[in-house]
Amino acid sequence: MSLLEIEKLSLSIGRTPILQDIDLAIEEGQVMGLVGESGSGKSMTALAVMKLLPHAARASGRIRFGGIDILSAPEAAMCRLRGDDIGMVFQEPMTALNPVKTIGEQVAEGIRWHTGANRADAEARARAMLERVGLPERQFPLSRYPHQLSGGQRQRVVIAIACALKPKLLIADEPTTALDVVLQAQILDLLRSLVEEDRMSLLLISHDLAVVAEMADRITVLRHGRVMEAGETAAALTQRRHPYTRQLAEASTHVPARAAALRESDGEALLQVEGVTRDYPLPRRSLLSRRQSIRAVDNVTFALQPGQTVALVGRSGCGKSTLARMILALDRPTGGTIRFQGMTLQDKGEEALRPVRRHMQVVFQDPYGSFDPRHRVERLVAEPLHLLDERPDRRRRRALVAEALEQVGLAAADMEKYPHEFSGGQRQRISIARAIITRPKLIVADEPVSALDVSIRAQILDLFADLNRRLGLAYLFITHDLTVARAVADHVMVMHEGRIVEAGPARAVLDQPRTQPARALVAAAPDLERALQRRLARASAG
Amino acid sequence: MTAFVLKRLAVGLLTLLAASLVVFFVLEVLPGDPARIMLGMNASPEALHALRTEMGLDRPVALRYLDWLFGMARGDFGRSYTYSSPVLALVAERLAVSLPLALMALALSTAIAIPVGIYAAARHGRPSDTLAMGLAQVGVAIPNFWFAMLLVYVFAVGLRLLPAGGFSGWGVGLDGLWQGVKALLLPAVSLALPQAAILARVTRSAMLEVLGEDYIRTARAKGLPRRKVLWRHGLRNAMIPVLTILGLQFAFLLAGTIIIENVFYLPGLGRLVFQAISQRDLIVVEGVVMLLVAAIVLINLLVDICYAVVDPRLRSSR
């Protein structure tokens, strides 16, 4: 009998069906990957197993775990199960820990609750568990608070909480989505070793086929709350029998059709960054000590030609976004110069920067947070028009908005709607329409597709490539995702601890990285093809 | 932590200094001559002049300000024009009523509001939540003097359990203490009711916000039952807004109780200030205002320390 058996699980919230007839079984010691796009019901399936569903949710069908019927089990029985036999790891490590309790308390709490151990014993076990997840006592005493740890370290604490009692089943819901690729690889390694050592089963939820291909023995593909395909990972993902699986796999390795890489023109560069440095002062330790500072961007030099796409890649916290803010003249460098169309930016006032802002626009990561929900699309997209020397009248403004919307594949009539009426991908199109309405020469895009599902991501990448071809737009593409960098960029720069450590044609840098930080980045990036080949090789060897 | 407290105390002293300037000069430019008010409209110019010299009102403003300031630093708040006794003694006498009253009201409102707020949040959307919040709404809406009169009618006139008003001092021994508490009980309850209603609503919404956080889900995934999660993980995180409101309410209770003092004939700070203002007893008004500013600075410091105790993130950043 399987450890976990889900049969015909259906779930609805109010009258909205969320899950329909889900079947899924996990054997002991098996790693099951649950794949799907946002809203497909992955997390709800996991929460149903934990019986931690929202109040309004109604579930039917059967979930059996080690002989216990979960849907009909009383709350007290579930409390014994949760944290002891089933552990769970969540997506967002920054918020998953209680900010007012020490990590020791938080790991020991579950141990004490389930085993009745006294404080000292529970703390000893917590210490051992934290050691196992890579947080040794010497550097990370139990008395640390979550805010004193980085995102990757916090996720280790969450994993320690979930695995402290060697559960039979570990559920990991997008455990690495909020982390950069290097951290992702480390956390996945950690999960893999814990699962193997303790003979746990793992239900790994992810939107990322490559991650699942690396980790899972079997996969289940969900879409709109239904199981599309289930089977052995390598077979399902190489044969791609089901059209939806094929679509997902193709979208996640999609490379947009692009204009031939630009020959190095000897004309004037569009953007020139020379020796740019940015220091941030640290708070004074005491009144007498000298003020220390931290160098976020360190002596960065590069140039961007008109129409060129440059990807800036690097781990989180490496200074990518700080550099972007200075290029956008939202922040001033401590040293060095930034020239846009030959004009220096760092010494200009707001009025002098207006023509620059017109020719340089930005697209942000989060298509949900970057719009005022009370404004119509017309107003949102028209916003940058105040940068024009001549304010267009209402007719002209509407014509410009309509044109921009059509450029990005939306209808002119969409300008009457509000942002909440659009999906995430459509909203990102609105962001792009807003960015191109002043006919800029350069768009700085800060992780513009990271929040999007793979199929939507492929469409948005196509749109970027298309606009590059038609309007001659240059991009500075900031991303932690090397697949995206490879797909869109002519040129790649790798940033590490504030410095550009490696730069060159995209293929050269990503295929043969020469410096250690670039190699680490490339090695850590999950790659669907590579993962499948490894899996197949292992299968034929075994 | 010590550095933090010292820094805040220094800022508090500066606040006091700024307040003293404002208080002194605002009252200085207001119309109304204390000497004239003391002597009445028919006083002879000679008598007026003599009194003004005696009170020092003829000296330059800056000098009088400095005198007053250094006097306060030595604990000499001056002498009331109308009561002819030292301001400090007057205030101390009134504070013996107002401070215990404020503390009792605060303790009562906290004791009622926090459990009610938590209970309502735990049963969010159910009838008991709706009922509790409906009652809180009523509590906010009822004027406290009306509620006070109702209490007097029931407990003093009807049941004859508690005195209807007046305050005869704290007496000696346990019995004296009990007499004092008995006299302040009804006023404290009527002050506490609207405060409790507000506090309960704040507690509930703070708890609700916290209960939606990811770490609550993490705690539930550990196997802790809902109730335990509520107390262990919810409450402390919800304390910050609650502490803010508590600080504001305490400051209000110290000085904003004049209506209730009047209903119960209590010799409290509120009535002292009221009388002093209507009789242009400026020196008393100034003294009391400075005292309140000091109290509020102190309360804010306490609240800030409580913040730091509750939330470790606020310890290092200041």
**How many angstroms separate the CA of residue B224 from the nearest CA in chain A?**
6
Query: CB within 8 A of B61, min separation 6: which ones?
Result: B25, B28
Residue with the two structure tokens 């552990």: A87
Asked if residue A59 lies in contact with residue A11, where contact means CB atoms within 8 angstroms, the answer is: yes
Q: What is the pLDDT of residue A284?
A: 67
Please tell me which residue of chain A has the smallest CA distance to B228: A113
Instruction: Give phi and psi for A170, each to the nearest 5.
Output: -110, 130
Helix, strand or coil, per DSSP, at residue A149: coil
pLDDT at A1 over 90: no
Query: In B, which residues are within 8 Å of A114 by CB distance?
Result: 223
> In chain A, helix, strand, coil percent, each to 5?
40, 25, 35
Burial track B289-305 (b if 16+ CB lie within 10 A, e otherwise): bbbbbbbbbebbbebbb
Asked if B223's CB is within 8 angstroms of A100's CB, the reply is: no
Asked if A100's CB is within 8 angstroms of B220's CB, the reply is: no
Q: What is the pLDDT of residue B286?
A: 85
Best B4, B123, B208, B218 member to test A by mutation, with max A CBs in 10 Å, is B218
Please name the member of B220, B237, B317 whose beta carbon is closest to the beta carbon of A82: B220
Query: In B, which residues are within 8 Å of A95 by CB distance?
Result: 213-215
Query: What is the pLDDT averaged over residues A182-208?
Result: 93
Report DSSP state, residue A442: E
Please tell me which residue of chain B has the smallest CA distance to A49: B221
- What is the signed CA dihedral for A206, A211, A215, A219, rounded to 10 degrees? 50
Residues facing residue B86 across a β-bridge? B79
Query: What is the pLDDT averaged over residues B12-29?
Result: 86
Q: Is A69 within the bounds of a domain?
A: no
The pair of three-digit structure tokens given for residue A420, joined into one six-digit string: 């909440």
Query: In A, which residues are within 8 Å of B223 by CB distance?
Result: 79-84, 110, 113-114
Best A92, A98, A145 member to test B by mutation, with max B CBs in 10 Å, is A98
Q: Is A94 within the bounds of a domain?
A: yes
Q: Are residues A247 and A299 in the same domain?
A: no
Across A181-190, B37-46, B145-154, B308-317, which has the greatest mean pLDDT?
A181-190
Q: Are residues A408 and A446 in the same domain?
A: yes
**Single-letter code of the amino acid located at A113:** W
pLDDT, tens only, A102-114 = 999 999 999 999 9
Q: For residue B114, what are the CA distances in angstroms to A169, B108, B117, B202, B229?
A: 39, 10, 5, 9, 16
Q: Is A65 within the bounds of a domain?
A: no
Please tell me which residue of chain B has the smallest CA distance to A167: B222
Please tell me which residue of chain A has the smallest CA distance to B7: A287
Q: For residue A203, what are the CA distances in angstroms to A34, A172, A261, A454, B77?
A: 7, 6, 43, 21, 73
pLDDT, tens only, A269-315 = 899 999 999 998 877 666 666 778 889 999 999 999 999 999 999 98
Q: Is B215 on the interface with A (CB under 8 A)?
A: yes
pLDDT category at A424 given cuts 50, 70, 90 is: confident
Q: What is the pLDDT of residue B180?
A: 83
Asked if A113's CB is within 8 angstroms of B224's CB, the reply is: yes
Q: Is A9 within the bounds of a domain?
A: no
Selected from 3.40.50.150, 3.40.50.620, 2.60.260.20, 1.10.3720.10, the CATH number assigned to the domain covering B94-316 reads: 1.10.3720.10
**Single-letter code of the amino acid located at B252:** F
How long is chain B? 318
Asked if residue A231 lies in contact with residue A218, where contact means CB atoms within 8 angstroms, the answer is: yes
Asked if A75's CB is within 8 angstroms of B223's CB, the reply is: no
Q: What is the pLDDT of residue A113?
A: 94
Q: Are residues A312 and A229 in the same domain?
A: no
pLDDT at B20 over 80: yes
Asked if B221's CB is within 8 angstroms of A81's CB, the reply is: no
**Single-letter code of the amino acid located at A308:** Q
- How high does pLDDT run on average in chain A? 90
Residue with the two structure tokens 């699986």: A245
Question: What's the sign of the alpha-carbon dihedral A187, A191, A197, A198?
Answer: positive
Residues facing residue A492 across a β-bridge? A311, A504
d(CA A197, CA A202): 12
Could you tell me whether strands A57-65 and A16-26 are parallel, antiparallel, or unpaired per DSSP bridges?
unpaired
Q: Are residues A296 and A218 in the same domain?
A: no
Q: Are residues A242 and A275 in the same domain?
A: no
Q: Is A524 within the bounds of a domain?
A: no
Asked if residue A33 lies in contact with residue A10, where contact means CB atoms within 8 angstroms, the answer is: no
Please name the member of B219, B222, B310 whose beta carbon is closest to the beta carbon of A100: B310
Q: What is the pLDDT of residue B316?
A: 65
Q: What is the pLDDT of residue A264?
A: 57
Asked if A75's CB is within 8 angstroms of B225's CB, the reply is: yes
Residues facing residue A55 across a β-bridge? none
Q: Are residues A244 and A278 in the same domain?
A: no
Report DSSP state, residue B157: I
pLDDT at B1 over 50: yes
Best B209, B213, B215 member to test A by mutation, with max A CBs in 10 Å, is B215
pLDDT, tens only, B167-226 = 877 777 788 888 888 888 899 999 999 999 999 999 999 999 999 899 999 999 999 999
Query: In B, which residues are within 8 Å of A84 by CB distance?
Result: 223
Asked if A90's CB is within 8 angstroms of B219's CB, the reply is: no
pLDDT category at A266 given cuts 50, 70, 90 is: low
Query: In A, which residues are within 8 Å of B226 by CB distance?
Result: 75
Instruction: Please tell me the total count of domains within chain A.
Output: 2
Could you tell me whether strands A226-232 and A343-344 are parallel, antiparallel, or unpaired per DSSP bridges?
unpaired
Please tell me which residue of chain A has the smallest CA distance to B238: A100
Q: What is the pLDDT of residue A4?
A: 95
pLDDT at A442 over 50: yes
- What is the signed CA dihedral for A351, A354, A355, A356, rounded to 10 degrees? 110
Q: What is the pLDDT of residue B268?
A: 87
Q: Judging by beta carbons within 10 Å of its beta carbon (0-12, 13-18, 19+), is residue A326 exposed, middle or buried?
A: buried
Q: What is the pLDDT of residue B242?
A: 93
Q: Is B137 on the interface with A (CB under 8 A)?
A: no
Please tell me which residue of chain A has the smallest CA distance to B225: A79
What is the span of the domain harbouring residue A299?
A: 271-282+291-511
Asked if residue A317 lies in contact with residue A153, where contact means CB atoms within 8 angstroms, the answer is: no
Report DSSP state, residue B286: H
Q: Is B219 on the interface with A (CB under 8 A)?
A: yes
Q: For residue A446, what are the CA distances in angstroms to A70, A305, A324, A362?
A: 44, 19, 8, 8
Please name the member of A84, A95, A158 whose beta carbon is closest to the beta carbon of B223: A84
End-to-end CA distance of chain A: 25
Give the angle subtended at the CA of B26 by the CAs of B24 and B28, to the nearest 5°. 65
Q: Are residues A341 and A481 in the same domain?
A: yes
Report DSSP state, residue A82: B
d(CA A35, CA A41): 10
Q: What is the pLDDT of residue A215?
A: 93
Asked if residue A51 lies in contact with residue A62, where contact means CB atoms within 8 angstroms, the answer is: no
pLDDT category at A55 given cuts 50, 70, 90 is: confident
Query: CB within 8 A of B134, min separation 6: which ones?
Result: none
pLDDT, tens only, A493-539 = 999 999 999 999 998 999 999 999 999 999 998 888 888 888 888 87
Burial track A521-531 (b if 16+ CB lie within 10 A, e otherwise): bbebbbbbeeb
pLDDT, tens only, A334-390 = 999 999 998 998 888 888 888 899 999 999 887 777 888 899 999 999 999 988 888
Q: Is A374 within the bounds of a domain?
A: yes
Asked if A99's CB is within 8 angstroms of B312's CB, the reply is: yes
pLDDT at A155 over 90: yes
Query: How many other C-beta atoms lie within 10 A of the C-beta of residue A402?
Result: 19
**How many angstroms separate the CA of residue A76 from the nearest CA in chain B?**
8
Asked if A81's CB is within 8 angstroms of B214's CB, the reply is: no
| Cα-trace Rg, chain A | 25
Q: What is the pLDDT of residue B172?
A: 76
pLDDT at B262 over 90: no
- What is the signed CA dihedral for B292, B298, B302, B307, rounded to 10 degrees? 90
**Single-letter code of the amino acid located at A371:** F
Asked if A158's CB is within 8 angstroms of B214's CB, the reply is: no
pLDDT, tens only, B72-86 = 888 888 888 778 788
Q: Are residues A183 and A302 in the same domain?
A: no
Helix, strand or coil, per DSSP, at residue A13: strand
Q: Is B309 on the interface with A (CB under 8 A)?
A: no
Q: Are residues A40 and A152 in the same domain?
A: yes
DSSP-H helix ranges across A417-481: 424-436, 454-471
Asked if residue B179 lies in contact with residue B171, where contact means CB atoms within 8 angstroms, the answer is: yes
Q: Is B230 on the interface with A (CB under 8 A)?
A: no
Please name the member of A52, A87, A98 whose beta carbon is closest to the beta carbon of B233: A98
Q: Is B213 on the interface with A (CB under 8 A)?
A: yes
**How many angstroms separate the CA of residue B112 from the nearest CA in chain A?**
25
Q: Are residues A39 and A84 in the same domain?
A: yes
Q: For residue B165, what are the CA distances in angstroms to A135, B99, B150, B157, B187?
A: 65, 17, 13, 11, 9
pLDDT at B95 over 70: yes
| Cα-trace Rg, chain B | 24
Residue with the two structure tokens 């020139």: A272
Query: In A, which residues are within 8 Å of B231 by CB distance?
Result: none
H or E segment to which residue A496 belongs: strand A491-496
Helix, strand or coil, per DSSP, at residue A438: coil
d(CA A480, CA A520): 13
Asked if B215's CB is within 8 angstroms of A95's CB, the reply is: yes
Q: Is A220 within the bounds of a domain?
A: yes
Q: Are residues A384 and A454 in the same domain?
A: yes
Question: ipTM score of the complex?
Answer: 0.84
Query: How many other C-beta atoms lie within 10 A of the C-beta of residue B102?
Result: 26
pLDDT at A237 over 60: yes
Q: Are residues A295 and A245 in the same domain?
A: no
Helix axes B214-221, A151-163, angle to 10 degrees: 30
Residues facing residue A82 across a β-bridge? A86
Best A89, A100, A101, A282 member to test B by mutation, with max B CBs in 10 Å, is A100
Q: What is the pLDDT of residue B318?
A: 45
End-to-end CA distance of chain B: 9
Query: What is the pLDDT averaged over residues A114-142?
Result: 93
pLDDT at A97 over 60: yes
Q: Is A108 within the bounds of a domain?
A: yes
Q: What is the pLDDT of residue A62?
A: 94
pLDDT at A260 over 70: no
d(CA A500, CA A298): 8
Q: What CATH number is attached to the domain comprising A232?
A: 3.40.50.300
Query: Half-sphere exposure of A94 toward its Cβ, with a 13 Å CA cutoff?
Result: 3
Query: CB within 8 A of B51, min separation 6: which ones?
Result: B35, B38, B39
Task: Give the residue, B88 or B31, on which the prediction is more confident.
Answer: B88
Query: In A, which residues are within 8 Å of B312 by CB distance?
Result: 99-100, 145, 147
Query: What is the pLDDT averaged over residues B283-298?
Result: 87
Query: In A, which residues are within 8 Å of B214 by CB distance?
Result: 90, 92, 95-96
In terms of phi and psi (left: phi > 0; alpha: psi -120 to 50; beta: otherwise), the region of A439 is left
For A156-172, give the secondary structure using H, E and C. Answer: HHHHHHHHCCCCCEEEE
Query: In A, which residues are within 8 Å of B220 by CB distance?
Result: 52, 82
Task: Give the residue, B25 or A229, on which the prediction is more confident.
Answer: A229
d(CA A370, CA A428): 10
